[in-house]
Amino acid sequence: MIARSLRSVLALVLAAGSIAFSGAAEAAHAHSKQQLDEDIMDHRTMAEAHRKVADCLEAGKPEKECRAQLAKDCKGVGIGRSCGMKDRHKH
Q: Tell me: the pLDDT tens digits for 61-76?
A: 999 999 999 999 988 8
Contacts of 63 (CB under 8 A, 6+ apart): 57
Other CB atoms within 10 Å distance of the CB of residue 91? 9
Question: Which of the 8 DSSP states describes residue 30?
Answer: P
Q: Can you give the pLDDT at residue 82? A: 82
Q: Which residue has the higher pLDDT, 5 or 48?
A: 48
Handedness of CA 34, 36, 42, 44 (dihedral sign): negative
pLDDT tens-digit series, residues 29-56 = 677 999 999 989 989 999 999 999 999 9
Is pLDDT of 58 > 90? yes
Q: Which residues pair with 36 in a beta bridge?
A: none
- For residue 88, the model assigns a pLDDT of 55
